[in-house]
Structure 1
Amino acid sequence: MSTAQESLTKTEAFFNKVSQKLMDENLWFAIGESVLKIIAILIISGLLIRIGKIAIHNFFKVRTRAPLRISERREATLMKLLENILSYAVYFISIMMILSALTINVQAMLAGAGIVGLAVGFGAQSLVKDIITGFFIIFEDQFSVGDYVRIGPFEGTVEEIGLRTTKIKSFTGEINILPNGSIIEVTNFSLYNSVAVLDIGIAYEGNIEYAEKVLQEYLETTTEKYPELVKDPELLGVQQFGASEVVLRIVAETLPMKHWYIGRQLRKDIKLVLDEHGIEIPFPRMVMYSRQEGAGQKELGK
């Protein structure tokens, strides 16, 4: 028998063997059973995650009516963290069950993963550092979801705090994802009241005492108009002498992160009040002299 005939015979034998396997009813029954198990696992996993999240939300709703409760910002952080932990746990169990449905020895794989994990653990120090740092951020309540913070060069609102990363949404909409292990210094603007500082310029020709009186009368009415103010703004007095103005300083204590809004509103109102009382807010002026006029005046002087 030639070599070509031998290879043809082997090929036919291989295809016959494959066709016999494909025609085996037990094989297709096993495949169908595995597919049904996987679909059932995915559906149950999705339901468990959804039911678990609803239970977490309901738990914190009950907490809001309790006499002893933690702050809303901390509740939002813990709620998001518990949802993430629930999702990770369900996904891990689902993957193990799917592998088991595919007749893969999960126990042997986990044992091997333990040995490999021990070797890889020395190179995963950054991951461990991220998780430990994330735990202490939440435990010490350094910042929470909804807080406005500055971390390094990034500044914005905390969208999510996980065990490994923190997401910060900047003012222009970008999402900055920071590993928790890289968070060294944090400036939290949302823990305490903010202060709006306003510098108001009055012309040197104006009556400073009258301007202070007008401003003081207006400031005493602001807390009724703006609930974001903690108390009446305070007129400190003359802050400095500018090139063409006397600068008066006003400070206003506001609720956390409301100082920008209050500052804009007060500047608008103060401009209208000063205009109403005829108090001039100076603006830059340019005076031009002609040399010819100056020379003519000298000749007339002679």
Structure 2
Amino acid sequence: MKKTFRQTIKFIIISILSLTLSLTCSPKSLGQIPLFISGSDSQNPQLTSKPWDLHKAIRCGKFWCSEVHFIDGDVKQGLTADLTLAAPQDINSSNVEIIQQLEQRSQLIVRFFKQIINSIIEQQTESEVPYRPDWEFWLPTTEKTLHPLTPKVEVGIKNQQTVIYLPEQPELDTIVTITDPDAKANGKKIEELAEIWRNNIRTSFSYILWGHELSLQHPGWRAKISVAIILLVLALIWLSHLIRNFLKKQNNQLRQQLSQLTESMATETEVKTVIESEVPSSKIEENISNTEEFSGTIKPKKEIVRQDNVSVQPSLEIAPPLSSQKNPFHFIRRLAKKTQLLALETSISQAKFFLQRQNLMKQRQNLYQLFLRLMLIFQFLFLSLGLIGIVFTFRETRFLSVYLFEQMLVIIILWLGLSLIDKLGGILIDSLLHHWAKEGQLLYPKSNRYTLRVDTYSQALKKAITFLTIFFGIYLSLFLLGVNLGVLASAGVFAVAVAFLSRSILEDLLNGILILSSDRYAMGDVIDVGGGMSGTVEDINLFITSLRNLDGQLMAIPNRRIESVINMTKYWSRVNFMIKIAGNEDIDRAIEVMIQVANQLQSESQWNQHFLEPVEVLGVDEVSHEGILIHLLIKTPPGQHWPLGREFRRRVKKAFDEAGISLGIPYHQVSIVQSDKADNNNQLFVNFNSKKDSNL
């Protein structure tokens, strides 16, 4: 509770300080540069009206218009202007002088209005207005009669022009003069517009005087209202914070489940069908049968001639014994065939199940992330509404409420729309990738590559959409706030930094697109990109690839630095096993022992799924003074060659020890030669050489 309260207070303080610093602190060198785009004419750099200036001129058809706000207004009518002044545009000039005169006219009317109010307040006595203790009367939504001190406002003619003035105070002169452009811009006749403006001015007088009366009769109410607004905002932010924490926990749990699902798919066995038209049935039975004890001799395979006259290269195979024709395990072999066929069908249905489950979990994750984004936006909305409420409570700052309300509302709506576009785009991406993976799984039912690529492409594409929405959101927010983006772009150091970063980001983006489109690697793959950087791909997007090495270190590599990739777990992996035995050992017997170890491993349920194919003996690769090098291969699912290789090496060493097969040891020959020279002391010459015979 205390931690949440401190975080909320810190969030509010940082927001207020950021707003204050951004509005007050700026370099003196930028003092002569218009940081904000003029609302009057963006093509005229001489006009430097601030976005919060309520009197700034705007285009309205054929006229320039300037709104007049008398600080207080009728809440039921909304934050609308009391008067709208107008001046005709000049096609042949830049209109700078016309705009300046129009804005000065608007400011002069407001200044004159304030003088009248101050004059009335100075002459007011406490006995003129009765005391009203009921708070309902002072609510902005409560309709009130005209204040007793409201001056009389009339419409008259002065210098052949229609004016609005105060007949009881002729010394204060005219409030506003109604011109022909004013009437045309408002779509009214001069007489109709004069009557509307007269009522608006009189109502504004009354509301301002009632507001002053509230300050006199209840001086602490405005402060209490501000405190109540602050407490309400804090409560709403705290409530939304609790909701965000709950959604974060759910999202993290879902992310862990999705990660576990991806890891399980990465290690799922790719069942290989055993019924192939190219291989004879006797060979299938020989490969499937793991219960028979090996016996026989090793002889080269003969070429297997298929019906299409395509021959298979010979390799070492084990000649089955004569007793295999009457094999007592024939029923077990047939049962093993049916089991593997059933496993193939189960693998296909399991892949479909994984895809459906992955898609549902991703859609749920998209919804959680959408709600998290909405909760964050709602927190800013609550803070903005609270700030607007406090500003509106005090008459001196009420003019800012119009600007804050308009800008904050537009910006929040903008970010709400961008958030919806971002997350709806993520939902669409996951849906399209799900259908793409389903079609690919039907074409390649024995591969789980499509399931792994779905997660990789999904994260990369969704992060790209998020980046674009945030970029456009910031750009449009600055544009709506009236910030002159040309000033930022023209700053020398800033422009160079942006150009340099843009070049690097563009290179990362292009290489990231190539990596994803060519499927060089996906999340869960183990890769080596050179430079001593290798590990498991934990995250990949259009800009950065994250690798986790065996030491647990996470390496973030920009995509532009990835030129060549060694993928050790794409589609399948292989145990590349080589061992040297002593030169005097029986080669056939050593190979027989290794095949027995492989068959024993393949018959165990713990290691059976690590074999995609039976062990492939390549034969003798080298004969030297160090021994005889025997080479064999075992094809495994992606990433399973490491645990299988470790277990296979351990068992081969143990089996060699039991069979009395020695490993290869470098051979050295020591010769002791006596010198032929007859000396008093016979000298012995020792010739210590390694016997490095040429390979046989």
1:129 aligns with: 507
User: In the aligned structure 2, how far is the partner of 1:237 from the partner of 1:141?
Assistant: 34
Q: Structure 2: which amino acid aligns with 1:175?
A: L
1:233-252 deviations in whole A, cap 9, x for unaligned?
Answer: 23445555676x76644332
Deviation for aligned residue 1:179:
2.2
1:157 aligns with 2:536: yes
1:215-258 deviations in whole A, cap 9, x for unaligned?
Answer: 33333454444322232223445555676x76644332223332
1:262 aligns with 2:640: no
Counterparts of residues 261-300 of structure 1 (less than 5 Å): 261-274=643-656, 278-279=659-660
User: In the aligned structure 2, how far is the partner of 1:280 from the partner of 1:188?
Assistant: 36
Contact 2:577 2:645 in 1 (8 A): yes
1:49 aligns with: 422
Deviation for aligned residue 1:109:
2.1
Counterparts of residues 189-208 of structure 1 (less than 5 Å): 189-191=568-570, 193-200=572-579
Contact 2:597 2:648 in 1 (8 A): no
Q: Quick check: which has more Rg, 1 or 2?
A: 2
Q: Structure 1: which amino acid aligns with 2:485?
A: M
| Contiguous gaps of at least 5 residues in structure 1 | 1-20, 285-302
Deviation for aligned residue 1:44:
4.8
Contact 1:223 1:231 in 2 (8 A): no
User: In the aligned structure 1, how far is the partner of 2:490 from the partner of 2:431?
Assistant: 37
Contact 1:164 1:179 in 2 (8 A): yes
Deviation for aligned residue 1:263:
0.4
Contact 1:145 1:159 in 2 (8 A): yes
Q: Structure 1: which amino acid aligns with 2:432?
A: F
Counterpart among 564, 567, 571 of residue 185 in structure 1: 564
SS of structure 1 residue aligned to 2:524: coil
Moved more, 85-94 or 265-274: 265-274
Q: Structure 1 residues 72 and 174 mapped into 2: Cα distance closer, same or farther (>3 Å)? A: same
Q: Structure 2: which amino acid aligns with 1:147?
A: D
1:86-137 deviations in whole A, cap 9, x for unaligned?
Answer: 1012212322343345x325xx5269749989x6476454443333333333
1:59 aligns with 2:432: yes
SS of structure 1 residue aligned to 2:519: coil
Q: Structure 1 residues 56 and 214 mapped into 2: Cα distance closer, same or farther (>3 Å)? A: same
Deviation for aligned residue 1:83:
0.4
Q: Structure 1: which amino acid aligns with 2:614?
A: D
What is the TM-score with the length of structure 2 in the denominator?
0.32
1:23 aligns with 2:396: yes
Contact 1:53 1:83 in 2 (8 A): yes
User: In the aligned structure 2, how far is the partner of 1:261 from the partner of 1:168?
Assistant: 20
1:109 aligns with 2:482: no
User: In the aligned structure 2, how far is the partner of 1:111 from the partner of 1:76?
Assistant: 42
2:520 aligns with: 142
Q: Structure 1 residues 139 and 205 mapped into 2: Cα distance closer, same or farther (>3 Å)? A: closer
Q: Structure 1: which amino acid aligns with 2:632?
A: I
Q: Structure 2: which amino acid aligns with 1:159?
A: E
Deviation for aligned residue 1:280:
5.4
Identity %: 24
User: In the aligned structure 2, how far is the partner of 1:217 from the partner of 1:46?
Assistant: 61
Aligned residues: 258
What is the TM-score with the length of structure 1 in the denominator?
0.66
Q: Structure 1 residues 91 and 246 mapped into 2: Cα distance closer, same or farther (>3 Å)? A: same
1:230 aligns with 2:603: no
1:234-292 deviations in whole A, cap 9, x for unaligned?
Answer: 3445555676x7664433222333221210121233345456x54356699xxxxxxxx
Q: Structure 1 residues 52 and 171 mapped into 2: Cα distance closer, same or farther (>3 Å)? A: farther
Q: Structure 1 residues 22 and 187 mapped into 2: Cα distance closer, same or farther (>3 Å)? A: farther
SS of structure 2 residue aligned to 1:25: helix
User: In the aligned structure 2, how far is the partner of 1:76 from the partner of 1:34?
Assistant: 39
SS of structure 2 residue aligned to 1:144: coil
SS of structure 1 residue aligned to 2:547: strand
Contact 1:156 1:168 in 2 (8 A): yes
User: In the aligned structure 1, how far is the partner of 2:487 from the partner of 2:453?
Assistant: 38
Deviation for aligned residue 1:155:
0.6
RMSD, aligned CA = 3.9
1:13 aligns with: none
Greater relative contact order: 1 or 2 (C-alpha under 8 angstroms, separation 6 or more)?
A: 1
